[in-house]
Amino acid sequence: MNYKITRETINSQLNSLESNKRFLINNVGIDVTRGGKFKVRPAEKTPSCVINKDGSFHDYGTGEHYKDIVSLLYDGYRAFDSLTDTMKWVCEELGIDWEVYYG
């Protein structure tokens, strides 16, 4: 598997505040404000994470910075057991042919 090329392909589609905002709302089910703020942890009463204009994320609750959606979902949310599972899911959600990179 070529992680670098797969990530570059993902990031070419999710490279802005707006594209990441749409992805989080439509594919992950996270409510994102107009300014790109959202709750990282379910028990939060106020948003603690923001999507930067370059498509990266900053969790100002912990001070963590995530360079892309893959690192947010894998390192931040711990939504998947492995980096491979995370990347595969994101590719499937974006309509990227996973087999091109996996094979």
pLDDT digits (tens, 9 = 90+) for 29-84: 899 998 999 988 778 899 999 999 999 999 998 899 999 999 999 998 889 999 99
pLDDT in tens, 2-16: 888 899 999 999 999
Whether 98 shows a pLDDT value over 90: the answer reads: no
Q: Is residue 15 part of a domain?
A: yes
Q: Is residue 103 part of a domain?
A: no
What is the predicted pLDDT for the residue at 8?
A: 92
Q: Is residue 37 part of a domain?
A: yes
What is the predicted pLDDT for the residue at 44?
A: 87
What is the predicted pLDDT for the residue at 1?
A: 65
Measure the CA–CA gap between 83 and 26, rounded to whole angstroms: 21
Q: Is residue 39 part of a domain?
A: yes
Asked whether the whole model's pTM tops 0.75, one would answer yes
Residue 36, φ and ψ in degrees, nearest 5: 85, 15
CATH number of the domain that 18 lies in?
Answer: 3.90.580.10
Q: Is residue 24 part of a domain?
A: yes
Domains contained in the chain, number = 1
Structure tokens at 45: 């009463």
Q: Is residue 46 part of a domain?
A: yes
What is the predicted pLDDT for the residue at 65?
A: 96
Q: Is residue 32 part of a domain?
A: yes
Q: Is residue 63 part of a domain?
A: yes
- Enclosing domain of residue 51: 3-98
**Dmax over Cα atoms in the chain, in whole Å?**
43
pLDDT band at 86 (very low <50, low <70, confident <90, very high): very high
